[in-house]
Amino acid sequence: MIRFSKFLFLLFLLPTHLFSQFAGYSQAESGSYNAALFSNGAGLRDPMANLSGNPAFLVSHGKNLAEAGGMGISAEKALGPVIFNGGGFYRITESFGVGVRFKPVYTRFFPSDERLINYTGQTVLSYKFNDSIFLGAGLGPSVSTRPGGYSTYSLNAFASIGILFEKISLGMVAESPGTNQFSQYLGTDTLKERYPEKISLGIQYDLNQSFFIYGEMVRTFWEHAMFSQNGLEEKPPFPVSSSYSGTFGTGYHILPSLDFLMALSKFYNATSNGALDPVYGLSAGIKSEILPSVFGAGVLGSLYLQRTGIRKTLESYEPETRLGFQIQTQFEIAKSDINSSGI
């Protein structure tokens, strides 16, 4: 009788309950400049994009930097929490630098009883291989929060490459978020979940001194994701063909210290019936110098606004509005300072 009851639970309750945990859970925006282009920033060469996007490019700018930012989200009449990101980078030599960053990786805000925020804090490295090729890597702990508390710690690792050639910048970032476990999910349950790895490939092309275009493709390895509640394991059967998302955007340098950014994106929303539903989004943002020459090279700021669900979806989907900001200070390093330090 007990086995038959367990069979009924697996047959009727498990698919809807566990699949519902994957629904709406998607990669997070962790930098305002990148988010203004609805991207992970894999191929962007701007310093405001690199710490949260592709750290391989950091050493190419010849500057130290520190930054902080945050974002909020709303859907219908519901408001999500404000989440923060930031970090810093120090260029030790002309070809090598080290930094730290903290950022959200995967998030889900609605409904609130199934909320998920997966954060990581990492040490990042940036290395100049030659004048065109730059390498990045990072490792650090990750932790998730869901209703009922925080998970155990896991490891998040990434590796990246950036290539600069005249008017083109090309970058790739591969990230593995790890596995987190909750001992008291919803008060009494045990929960273990493995988040999908992702690879982002982006390319920026400068049309002239005022305009650039940017495209990015992201492959999310949903086939590696796992959700186990009280020992009952489930993996989302999402098709590989629907595991690709993309964005296409442009940037306009209005003034030397003022940029306007916008992009159109297509991504997939995981639904509770085991499908990935295509969703379109639109983003816009600005970057500007807000305190010129006060600290080092000045204080830069950026703002972005995103709207998802701009076209009708196949399944029920609540469009989201996302708003975020980023502030960054940049400190140039004189060659004489490097030489005098004995490096």
Hey, where are the domains in the chain?
Answer: 2-340
**pLDDT greater than 90 at residue 188:** no
- Provide CB contacts within 8 A for 342, sequence distance 6+: none
How many C-beta atoms surround the C-beta of residue 331 within 10 A? 16
Phi and psi, residue 3, nearest 5°? -65, -40
DSSP 18: H
- Residues 302 and 251: beta-carbon distance below 8 Å: no
Q: Give the model's pLDDT for residue 203.
A: 98
Band the pLDDT of 313: cuts 50, 70, 90: confident
pLDDT at 272: 64
Helix (H) or strand (E) holding 41: none
pLDDT confidence tier of residue 30, bands split at 50, 70 and 90? confident
Cross-sheet strand order for the sheet of 189-194: 179-185, 189-194, 226-229, 232-234
Query: Please, which pLDDT band fits residue 124 given cuts at 50, 70 and 90?
Result: very high
**Spatial CA neighbour of 48 closest among 87, 106, 5:** 87
- CA pair distance 241, 216, nearest whole angstrom: 17
Q: Of the given ranges (6-20, 146-160, 166-180, 190-204), which has the lowest mean pLDDT?
A: 6-20
What confidence category does residue 20 fall into, taking pLDDT thresholds of 50, 70 and 90?
A: low
Judged against a pLDDT cut of 90, whether residue 54 lies above it is answered with yes
* Cβ atoms 263, 39 nearer than 8 A: yes
Residue 334 banded pLDDT, cuts 50, 70, 90: low
Question: How confident is the model at residue 81, as a pLDDT?
Answer: 85
- CA-nearest of 251, 277, 253, 172 to 216 is 172
Q: What band does 86 get if pLDDT is binned at 50, 70 and 90?
A: very high
Mention every residue, 6+ apart, whose C-beta is less than 8 A from residue 1: none
In words, the CATH class of domain 2-340 is mainly beta
- Tell me the two tokens of residue 314: 């196949």
Whole-number pLDDT of residue 333 = 57
Alpha-carbon Rg for the chain in angstroms:
21
Residues in CB range of 103: below 8 A, 6 or more apart? 28, 30, 31, 52, 85, 87, 119, 120
Residue of 159, 145, 139 lying closest to 80 (CA atoms): 145
Does the pLDDT at position 245 exceed 50? yes
Quick one: 8 exposed, middle or buried, by C-beta within 10 A (0-12, 13-18, 19+)?
A: exposed
Measured between its terminal Cα atoms, the distance across the chain in Å is 73
Report which of residues 196 and 228 the model is more confident about.
196
**pLDDT computed for residue 293 by the predictor:** 61
> Could you tell me what percent of the chain has a pLDDT over 70?
85
Rounded-to-integer distance, Cα 312 and Cα 117, Å: 27
Residues 6+ apart with CB under 8 A from 5: none
Residue 136 confidence (pLDDT) above 60: yes
Cβ atoms < 10 Å from Cβ of 37 = 31
What percent of the chain is predicted at pLDDT more than 90?
Answer: 53
How far apart, in whole angstroms, are the C-alpha atoms of residue 204 and residue 183?
Answer: 44
Q: How far apart are CA 236 and CA 224, in angstroms?
A: 9
Indicate the average pLDDT of the chain. Answer: 85
182: tokens are 């909750």
Cα separation, 50 vs 328, in Å, equals: 12
Q: Which two tokens stand for residue 78?
A: 């519901």
Rounded-to-integer distance, Cα 91 and Cα 63, Å: 7
Cβ(268)–Cβ(240) below 8 Å: no
- Is a pLDDT exceeding 50 seen at residue 47? yes
Q: Is the pTM of this model over 0.85?
A: yes
List beta partners, residue 121. Answer: 102
